[in-house]
Amino acid sequence: MNRTSWLALVVVAGAISGCANRTEIVDVPLQATPLNAEHIARANLSPVGNQTSIWLTIGGVPHDLAIPSRIDTAIYTGSCQHLGAQPAYIRPTVSIIHR
């Protein structure tokens, strides 16, 4: 698995609107791109004050890379069947913490 294939992973978690309360924790299973077909991932969305925390759990990331892994992420409005034309929120660089 090379670095380019990990950069190709884009997270689409759907629309998030309004303020979340303590009971609104969402767990989203994610589908890998064709470049990462045998790997798994999940996004856990939970309230933190008046913001939403997104915790990504990704399987198959090699531990022996010369540079840290990175993921490009975006959240679109709409649904998987009818995504908005542009991302509502973009976080272009997310560092991976290996555990």
Along the chain (99 residues), what's the average pLDDT of each consecutive run of 10 residues?
42 38 76 74 87 81 69 79 85 59
Q: And the tokens for 25?
A: 């924790």
Domain that holds residue 85: 3-95
Query: Can you tell me the distance from the alpha carbon of 15 to that of 17, in angstroms, rounded to the nearest whole number?
Result: 6
What is the residue type of 84?
G
pLDDT at position 90 is 80
- What are the φ and ψ backbone dihedral angles of 7, each rounded to 5 degrees? -70, -20
Total domains in the chain come to 1
